[in-house]
Structure 1
């Protein structure tokens, strides 16, 4: 559940970074012990499909969360929060069964193995090491060619969607990617 908590925290940070307004309380309705809610201030409710996704995440039901976010995007293709949520849940789903130590060891031992670098970049992002994950894949693009290069590049572009285009780390990594490609 620690990964879920980390993901939700990163998800909310990305939402704020991307100018998605509103405040969402995750957890019980009682708030912080000893803290009184402000009178007249109500926490906006999540749209139903977003709430469905959050509930599925809380239960570890990645497929259910993905389905809810996909449905939200079908209804509103401009729903930035659903797009970010979908990318983040897919990341969590990919990493939920990984042995983190084995992934990191494989990446260290096989720097030219694009799949090992992709897996390690996913683990980096879930762990909050965004720059490390981006840098790892930029380097994989730089060192590889053909199909491997395309896989590394496409995965990196997908990770940009996990963090959000407004995040300065994405802009920096995009510039590094362009340099690696040309």
Structure 2
């Protein structure tokens, strides 16, 4: 079994060990992306070897092209891509988002020297400009895009796509939040996870099938446990706390491994607690690639 955390660790130490805003920011961005209107035509495009020259190289002479290199099996890609698509619309055609499936277009991936995905690279005047790797939060993605817009303008590349009938604006449009989640997001921004849980619970009570509300409740409960850890002494509770820390830091594989081992090694009420915690984490992790192997491991541990 993995080594549990030090039970004497202070709440401040735990907060320092976990990015407390990471999961909430990811969930908020996904909700915002799901409710955002579609971007204008031509702003988000699928690129293959057949249209790469025209769609990316030629187009980059007049407007920056942001290349999203992804794959269907990539869990982080499924978090980042909706954010990029939402921002492509929010920036009003000031850049083109070119989506490239690295499995289907291996020649392009090799040309970009892709080492891991998701990878995001800009192309300006035919020249690649590396931006970032990994599923970053929306605020960080915006920061990279703002820097790209400034650099492209200095190079004389400041065209727009899909906005011929719209007034131009240099400022990206901030998409409104889904009004259902405003109170919960306000509580999260204030650091009041208990209030956030209460707000999500109201939504879940009104709409029991609302997956976002359910995930919000689970997220708020997780963050409360991480920020205010209970006094622990026995190995089982220590290992639950360690799994919370793993999950809070985005290490779903680590959290799943701990909980599967707890299910395998425990019995009775403790086994039920570990199993339910694991199921809750599956709900929170969504399409993370660690989920499916962990489900198989859980089935093996149970039977």
TM range (shorter): 0.7 to 0.9
Q: Please, which of 72, 77, 80 is the counterpart of residue 203 of structure 2?
A: 72
Equivalent residue number for residue 237 of structure 2: 115
Equivalent residue number for residue 7 of structure 1: 23
Matches within 5 A, 1:1-182: 3-12=19-28, 17=78, 23=86, 32=143, 42-98=173-229, 113-164=235-286, 166-182=287-303
- Normalised to the residue count of structure 2, the TM-score between the two structures is 0.47
Larger Rg: 2
**Shift of residue 26, structure 1, vs aligned partner:** 6.9
Query: CA-atom RMSD, angstroms?
Result: 3.4
CA distance change for structure 1 residues 121 and 163 in 2, over 3 Å: closer, same or farther?
Answer: same
Total equivalences in the alignment: 168
Larger strand percent: 2
* Per-residue CA distance 1:70-107 (angstroms, 9 max, x = gap): 122233333222222221111111111239xx98xx7x
Q: Distance in 2 between matches of 1:47 and 1:116?
A: 37
Could you tell me whether the CA contact under 8 Å between 1:7 and 1:88 is conserved in 2?
yes
Q: Distance in 2 between matches of 1:56 and 1:5?
A: 12
Structure 1: which 5+ residue stretches go unaligned?
none
- Normalised to the residue count of structure 1, the TM-score between the two structures is 0.74
Q: Distance in 2 between matches of 1:125 and 1:132?
A: 8
Could you tell me whether the CA contact under 8 Å between 1:7 and 1:92 is conserved in 2?
no
Could you tell me whether the CA contact under 8 Å between 2:20 and 2:248 is conserved in 1?
no
Could you tell me whether the CA contact under 8 Å between 1:87 and 1:158 is conserved in 2?
yes
Runs of 4+ in 1 over 6 A off after TM superposition: 24-27
Could you tell me whether the CA contact under 8 Å between 2:184 and 2:195 is conserved in 1?
yes
